[in-house]
């Protein structure tokens, strides 16, 4: 199964982002918009693994920092050949970066093969976007804040053709 560790986002965050996505659509932006239920923040992408059990066992033992505040940051995009990825930024707070780095280090030490690319915290809003980037710059994303109290092991799967991220295990922060 296809696994990753990340953060679930509060309903009011997902609602605010869904509203902004609808506004982008109304302004003519075309792409594969993330379903509101699927809006999330990835910490570490694991990829295909036979079972979630070893990852869950590692998370159960992992020393984590205490709960900390999470805030949105300005939107941005990754340029891709088939159309860009548009995302909402997340503040690179020391607590978030420590949590992510500690998790990545523990997974590597346990032998999970992870990609080497540097971590860019972002919430994917839409993929395969071919619309002009000034439409993104002009979007009025509200500043959002929450407290992170747990991290979540997800499986990414297609159920009847619909992409879903299923929470499998929650690790509470210390």
**Nearer CB in complex with ligand ATP: 5/16:** 5
**Nearer CB in complex with ligand ATP: 66/151:** 151
Q: Is 45 in the site for ligand ATP (CB under 6 A)?
A: yes
CB atoms inside a 10 Å sphere around CB 55 = 21
Q: Which of residues 137-166 bind ligand ATP (CB under 6 A)?
A: 156, 163
CB of 167 vs ligand ATP, minimal distance in Å: 13
**Nearer CB in complex with ligand ATP: 4/141:** 4
**Binding residue for ligand ATP (CB under 6 A) from 5, 7, 33, 42?**
42
Distance CA 96, CA 145 (A): 13
Distance of CA 93 to the CA centre of its chain: 15
Characterise 147 by phi-psi region: left (phi > 0), alpha (psi -120 to 50), beta (else): beta
Characterise 47 by phi-psi region: left (phi > 0), alpha (psi -120 to 50), beta (else): left
CB of 141 vs ligand ATP, minimal distance in Å: 18
Query: At 17, phi and psi to the nearest 5?
Result: -70, -40
40 is catalytic: yes
Q: How far is CA 38 from CA 71, 124, 149, in A?
A: 18, 9, 19
Taking residues 98 to 137 in sequence order and writing x for each that binds ligand ATP by CB under 6 A, - otherwise, the string is -----------------x--------x-------------
Cite the DSSP H helix spans in the chain.
11-26, 53-61, 94-109, 134-137
**Nearer CB in complex with ligand ATP: 54/83:** 83
CB of 154 vs ligand ATP, minimal distance in Å: 7
Interface positions with ligand ATP (CB under 6 A):
2, 4, 42, 45, 115, 124, 156, 163
Which residues are designated catalytic? 40, 122
């Amino acid at each position: 199964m296809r696994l990753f560790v990340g953060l679930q986002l509060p309903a009011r965050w997902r609602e605010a982002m869904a509203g902004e996505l609808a506004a982008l659509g109304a302004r003519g932006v075309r792409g594969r918009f993330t379903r509101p239920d699927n809006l999330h923040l990835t910490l570490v992408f694991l990829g295909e693994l036979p079972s979630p059990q070893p990852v869950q066992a590692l998370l159960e033992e992992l020393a984590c920092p205490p709960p900390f505040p999470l805030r949105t940051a300005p939107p941005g995009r990754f340029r891709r050949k088939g159309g860009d990825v548009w995302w909402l930024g997340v503040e690179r707070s020391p607590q978030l970066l420590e949590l992510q780095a500690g998790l990545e280090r523990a997974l590597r030490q346990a032998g999970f093969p992870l990609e080497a690319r540097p971590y860019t915290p972002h919430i994917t809003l839409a993929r395969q976007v071919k619309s002009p980037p000034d439409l993104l710059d002009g979007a009025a994303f509200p500043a959002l804040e929450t407290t992170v109290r747990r991290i979540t092991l997800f499986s990414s799967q297609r159920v009847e053709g619909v992409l879903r991220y299923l929470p499998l295990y929650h690790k509470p922060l210390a």
